[in-house]
């Protein structure tokens, strides 16, 4: 009914925006990272020099390690808790179920800067709500942000709290698509709740579960805001994860060479996750 190029005309505007902001910077950035960077501009070609220098940085391995711990624990907790809540909400009458949904999504729709700031004020600050309650019971103040382990714990707590609503909504949509008679048939055959969960619900939730694992991993690896607002990477470098390390290299130390190289290494990791995402999402044209 139309010539083959008409469709292309319709997508050109959208792809121009995507190419300018998302695609071309990657290629430019890679070219840039192969040069010695002086005062923010590329001078002579040094091949992978920026990368070898970066990987020989003694602090780098620890930063990767912290990122792995932060991401793995945050994702595992978010998935486990949201799955538990989802299974519970799924059994509630629709009205109450959607109230829970709406409440849990509030931290997610709040910007990370504001959410982290308010979380810090209410649950951590020495004159905030939580510490005041502790003090009313005569308990000593907790200096949670000055201890390396509890600082990381809090960073993880903020991450889980912030992203729980997202995971819950995706899992609920997945649960809704499981026909009810599956469960009924299974319980007729004498399956207990644990068997029903393990043998019926879990396999049928595989796709949404994997999708949220990927999306949560991506967003945890890339989060700059919550460490920036909550801990600033400290105490010492206890919560210095990759995203904030890249951010600091570029905009605090003005070392664009190493920042770009590290960002592209992160980007490579992102691409692997994205490929998994693309495989899972049932896209077709």
Partner 1 sequence: MRSTKTVNRRNLTRWNGILIGGFFTFLIILNTAPLLWGTLTSLKSEADLFRFPPTLFNFTPTMENYQRVFDSGFSYSLAISLIYSAITVVMVLLLGVPAAYAFDRFNFPGRRPLFLLVVASIPLSLGAAALLIPNYIYFLRLGLTNQYFTLPLIYTAHQLPMAIWIIKGTIEGIPRELDEAAVADGAGHFMILRMIILPLILPALGAAGVMAFVGSWNEFVASTVMVDAPELRPVQPAIYNFIGYFGREWGPLSAAAIMGVVPILIVFMLLGRLIVSGLTKGSVKG
Q: How far apart are the first and last CA of the chain?
A: 18
Q: Which of 2, 149 has the CB closer to partner 1?
A: 2
Rounded (10°) angle between helices 60-91 and 148-176: 40
Q: In the complex, what is the shortest distance from the CB of residue 237 to partner 1, in angstroms, rounded to a whole number?
A: 18
Q: Of 181, 201, 178, 198, whose CA–CA distance to 189 is shortest?
A: 181
Nearer to partner 1, 115 or 156 (CB): 115
CA 42 to chain CA centroid, nearest Å: 32
Smallest distance from partner 1 to CB 92, Å: 9
Cβ proximity to partner 1, 151 vs 168, nearer residue: 168
Structure tokens, 46: 């040094």
Closest to partner 1 by CB, 125 vs 237, is: 125
Tokens of 98: 């959607």
Min dist CB 165 to partner 1, Å, is: 8
Q: Which two tokens stand for residue 120?
A: 């810090």
Indicate the residue among 100 and 200 with the shorter CB distance to partner 1.
100
Q: Least distance in Å: CB of 73 to partner 1?
A: 18
Distance of alpha carbon 233 from alpha carbon 225, whole angstroms: 11
Q: How far is the CB of 222 from partner 1 (least distance, A)?
A: 4
User: Nearest to residue 241, comparing CAs of 163, 164, 151?
Assistant: 151
Q: Which is nearer to partner 1, 76 or 100 (CB)?
A: 100
Q: DSSP code of 149? A: H
Question: Residue 75 or 246: which CB sits closer to partner 1?
Answer: 246
Reported in sequence order, the residue ranges of the chain that DSSP labels E, i.e. its strands, are 35-38, 41-45
Q: In whole angstroms, how close is the CB of 160 to partner 1 at the nearest point?
A: 10
| Min separation Cβ 152 and partner 1, Å | 19
Task: Report which of 15, 45, 164, 188 is spatially closest to residue 103, judged by C-alpha positions.
Answer: 164
Q: How far apart are CA 211 and CA 221, in angstroms?
A: 15
R_g over Cα of the chain: 23
CB of 148 to partner 1, least distance (A): 22
Residue with tokens 């210095």: 240
**With b meaning 16 or more CB within 10 Å and e meaning fewer, what string describes 181-213?**
eebeebeeeebeeeebeeebbeebbeebbebbb
Q: By C-beta, is 45 or 88 nearer to partner 1?
A: 88
């Amino acid at each position: 009914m139309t010539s083959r190029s008409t469709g292309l005309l319709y997508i050109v505007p959208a792809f121009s925006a995507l190419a300018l902001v998302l695609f071309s910077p990657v290629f430019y950035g890679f070219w840039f990272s192969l040069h010695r960077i002086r005062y923010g501009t590329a001078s002579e070609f040094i091949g992978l020099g920026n990368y070898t220098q970066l990987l020989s940085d003694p602090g780098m391995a620890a930063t990767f390690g912290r990122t792995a711990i932060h991401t793995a624990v945050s994702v595992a907790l978010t998935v486990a808790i949201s799955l538990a809540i989802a299974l519970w909400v799924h059994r509630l009458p629709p009205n109450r179920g959607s109230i829970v949904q709406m409440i849990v999504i509030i931290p997610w729709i709040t910007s990370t800067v504001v959410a982290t700031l308010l979380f810090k004020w209410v649950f951590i600050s020495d004159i905030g709500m939580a510490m005041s309650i502790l003090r009313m019971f005569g308990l000593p103040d907790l200096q949670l942000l000055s201890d390396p382990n509890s600082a990381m714990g809090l960073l993880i707590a903020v991450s889980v709290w912030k992203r729980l609503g997202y995971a819950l909504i995706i899992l609920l949509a997945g649960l809704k698509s499981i026909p009810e008679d599956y469960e009924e048939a299974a319980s007729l055959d004498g399956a207990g709740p644990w068997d029903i969960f393990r043998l019926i619900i879990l396999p049928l939730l595989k796709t949404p579960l994997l999708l949220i694992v990927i999306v949560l991993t991506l967003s945890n690896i890339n989060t700059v805001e919550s460490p920036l607002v909550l801990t600033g990477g400290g105490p010492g470098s206890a919560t210095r994860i990759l995203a904030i390390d890249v951010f600091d290299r570029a905009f605090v130390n003005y070392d664009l060479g190493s920042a770009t190289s590290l960002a592209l290494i992160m980007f490579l990791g992102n691409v692997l996750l994205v490929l998994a995402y693309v495989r899972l999402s049932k896209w077709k044209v």
